[in-house]
Amino acid sequence: MRRLVTDLGIQDVNLFFENDASNEQIRAWVERNLNLPDFELNEPHSCKVTEFVGDITISGDEDLVLLKIENIKPEKLTNDSQWSVWVGGGEVNDFYLTEQEAENLANQFINDGYNDVEYRKEI
């Protein structure tokens, strides 16, 4: 599985692609989907998408988003992966976590100044 990620900006991009998706196919998909809210673009119509050695750049008059293509090995859901983290009443993880992962993620939000943070067992 391949994942397109960034940790820049207010909202993280976390999109998944099949193993056989080439960098060029992912770049072309991004270019066709610039209006997605995930990219947080001010002027998607003025943006150009380029790929260089696994990095994708979206650049335009008012926008610059740097993305990285990662190869990942999906982990199977285990009985330990039943936890979620909630910040301000909204779930912030995309998939269930182990208790330790949830605690670590919750602490990251607390360290960033959020005070309405909790992690809990969901299943």
Span of 16-20, 27-31, 55-59 with lowest mean pLDDT: 16-20
Residues 15 and 46 occupy one common structural domain: yes
Residues 66 and 117 in one domain: no
Entry pTM? 0.59
Looking at the structure, do residues 13 and 54 belong to the same domain, yes or no?
A: yes
Q: Is 14 domain-assigned?
A: yes
One domain, residues 22 and 66 = yes
Secondary structure of 56-106 in the HEC alphabet?
Answer: EEEECCCCEEEEEEEECCCCCCCCCCCEEEEECCEECCCCCECHHHHHHHH
Residues 13, 61 within the same domain? yes
Tens of pLDDT, residues 27-47:
999 999 999 888 889 999 999
Residue 78 belongs to some domain of the structure: no
Domain with 115 in it:
83-121
Same-domain status, 18 and 61: yes
pLDDT tens figures, 66-83:
998 988 876 655 667 889
